[in-house]
Amino acid sequence: MTTLYPIVLETEDSGAVSAYVPGLPVYAAGDSDAKAERAIRALLGEYLNAHPASRPDARVRVARFSDTGRQRVEIVGVAALVGATRTAAKARASRANGRRGGRPSSSATGRTTRTKASR
């Protein structure tokens, strides 16, 4: 089973980068993002090997602030961090296909379908 652990990287005033895993006592630092990532990866691996039953007790959510029009803050899922978006064509196909999914049919993309010639 694969478990995902969120890792937070913060740049300090001194330029050092701190890294930690929310919900676990795992902290590391480095001179750059890459060094902090290597350090937290190694430390998290060691911690999980020493404490295999550990599970973080933190729940990660994302606050999205909209400053266009009426300013507001929304709490959204973690997928917002990776920018989960759909293209307009996929959104149209999803509405048209309903539960079947959002892949546009070949006719929707402008391609014609070929049929086998009679022999």
| Residue 75, Ramachandran bin (φ over 0: left; ψ between -120 and 50: alpha; else beta) | beta
Residue 117: inside a domain: no
Between residues 86 and 53, which one has the greater pLDDT?
Answer: 53
Number of structural domains in the chain: 2
Distance, in Å, from the CA atom of 100 to the CA atom of 96, rounded to the nearest integer, reads 9
Question: Residues 11-29: what's their mean pLDDT?
Answer: 94
Residue 86 burial (C-beta neighbours within 10 Å; 0-12, 13-18, 19+): exposed
Residue 119: inside a domain: no
Helix (H) or strand (E) holding 10: strand 8-11
Q: Which domain holds residue 22?
A: 8-50
Residue 115: inside a domain: no
Identify the band that residue 8 occupies on the pLDDT scale cut at 50, 70 and 90: very high
Cβ atoms of 6 and 15 within 8 Å: the answer is no
Same domain, 13 and 45: yes
> For 78-93, what is each residue's pLDDT tens digit?
766 666 666 777 777 7
Which of 1-15, 38-52, 55-69, 90-104 has the least mean pLDDT?
Answer: 90-104
Residue 90: inside a domain: yes
